[in-house]
Structure 1
């Protein structure tokens, strides 16, 4: 297997999507399980697009964990960084959906957030050799509240800096993972100071910076190489190398928005791996990169499930051809 150019660090899990859109959690009759977890979504989407990716995280020694690791392998993701925990279960999240496909996280069933295997990733067992040939490390913030996995995050950051791996943070703010929102704000800001590329939803930008303007955010962070702010069907805004702009979203018939932001990140990183970071100095190239990322995100919403819905390169190319004539 080709060594991964992008390492995706964090959680792989099952999203249990409500089969009855528009109903609150208590009124849902049945659920369908879909593989997910933001870093795993990014790794799978990248691999499908043609960029070698690896996943680093922890699952239980249970049937869901077996199935998820097998899915990653079948997709072509490097799983040499996956750890297994003997007693903690693989994470499951319940997701309710609105009639328009928008989703809302509804809880962890009969368990608390800190009971799952992904909270027990061991820093000492992270394969350092994965970082030698990698170009990018993708992180979220869901694992930061848990001491063992947070220590593993710090180890991954050390390895990335040691081997000149660029850090990409997709904040992926989920209050249900954090016991203290103010502590979360401070911890996330401390991580942001270390990253090279920052991806925020519009709501996350409001919460962390009190602005949705990526140029303002980039100016405040000074040394950051790029800021991306996504806003669903309103498209995205971005700031690179002193250049700012916006890219409109593509109109599609949405079935499920789960994983759309992760697919956007994968589309962006796939383009960076193809073109190189210096390409971001050219405004026209940046517009093309953002259009590609938006297309990957849009195509992921037209089918259910974060990973199952991800497009192939041919689908993205055909979609862009049709929508940019």
Structure 2
């Protein structure tokens, strides 16, 4: 397996999607599990686009854990960073959907959020050799909610700095993952001070910065090299290498938005790997990079499930060609 250019650290889990869109949790008659978890979604999407990626996280020593590790390996994601917990189960998240495909997280079944294997990711077991050759580290913020996995994120930040790896954070705010949601804002804001690229949804930007202006966020945090603010069907805004812009979303038939934002992140990082960060200083290339990311995100929303729906590079190229 090739050395991953991108490392994605965090949760891998099953999104258990309601089979009946438009129904409340108690009205759903049947569910279908789909592999997911934002960092794992990004790793799989990158590999499908042609960029070698690795996943770092913890799953249970159970059948769902076995299934997820096999999936990573089948897709071609480097799984050397996957840890297994002997007693804690692999996480499942129940997701209800609107008729338009918009999702809403509906809980973890009978377990507390702190009881799942992903919360036990151990800092001491992070594979240093993966960091020695990587170029990018992609992080979410959900694992900041738990003491062990938070320390693993801090250790990953140290290794990224040691080996000159660029860091991207997708905030991916989900209150239900936090045992004490009041802790989230200061912890996330502190993390953002240590990174290079920030991808954030409009409502998250308002929550953390009281603005949705990508340029204002970037200039407030002068350590950032780029900010991407996404707004689903309303498109996205960016401030990259001094270039600012807004792009409309592609018009697609939305089936399930699960993983669309992760597809956007993967498309963006894939293009950075192909063109180099310095290319963002060119306003046309910066616009093309975000357009590509938007296409990956849009295509991901046209099928159910996060990973199963992800496009290949050829499919993205064909979509962009047909959208001109």
TM-score after normalising by structure 1: 0.99
**Which shows bigger deviation, 77-86 or 234-243?**
234-243
* Partner residue in 1 for 2:83: 83
The CA deviation at 1:241 is 2.1
* Partner residue in 2 for 1:21: 21
Inter-partner Cα distance in structure 2 for 1:32 and 1:101: 15
In the TM superposition, what whole-angstrom CA distance separates every residue of 1:230-269 from its partner, at most 9, and x where no partner exists? 0001111000122210111100010000000000000000
Inter-partner Cα distance in structure 2 for 1:62 and 1:245: 46
RMSD of aligned Cα (Å): 0.6
In the TM superposition, what whole-angstrom CA distance separates every residue of 1:34-59 from its partner, at most 9, and x where no partner exists? 00000000000000000000000000
* Partner residue in 2 for 1:140: 140
- Structure 1, gaps ≥5 residues long: none
Inter-partner Cα distance in structure 1 for 2:223 and 2:305: 36
Partner secondary structure for residue 109 of structure 2? coil
CA contact (8 A) 2:13 2:68 kept: yes
* Partner residue in 2 for 1:99: 99
* Partner residue in 2 for 1:36: 36
* Partner residue in 1 for 2:6: 6
2:317 corresponds to 1:308 = no
* Partner residue in 2 for 1:198: 198
- Number of residue equivalences: 324
* Partner residue in 1 for 2:256: 256
TM-score after normalising by structure 2: 0.99
Inter-partner Cα distance in structure 2 for 1:44 and 1:148: 25
- Structure 2, gaps ≥5 residues long: none
Partner secondary structure for residue 143 of structure 1? helix
* Partner residue in 1 for 2:168: 168
Partner secondary structure for residue 96 of structure 1? strand
Inter-partner Cα distance in structure 2 for 1:307 and 1:102: 17
Inter-partner Cα distance in structure 2 for 1:241 and 1:277: 8
CA contact (8 A) 2:194 2:223 kept: no
Partner secondary structure for residue 133 of structure 2? coil
In the TM superposition, what whole-angstrom CA distance separates every residue of 1:175-233 from its partner, at most 9, and x where no partner exists? 00113333210000000000000000011001001110000000100121000000001
Inter-partner Cα distance in structure 1 for 2:160 and 2:242: 25
The CA deviation at 1:115 is 0.4
Inter-partner Cα distance in structure 2 for 1:228 and 1:92: 29
Inter-partner Cα distance in structure 2 for 1:156 and 1:314: 33
User: Which portions of structure 1, spanning 4 or more consecutive aligned residues, are displaced by more than 3 angstroms?
Assistant: none
Partner secondary structure for residue 145 of structure 2? coil
* Partner residue in 2 for 1:131: 131
* Partner residue in 2 for 1:178: 178
Inter-partner Cα distance in structure 1 for 2:147 and 2:222: 29
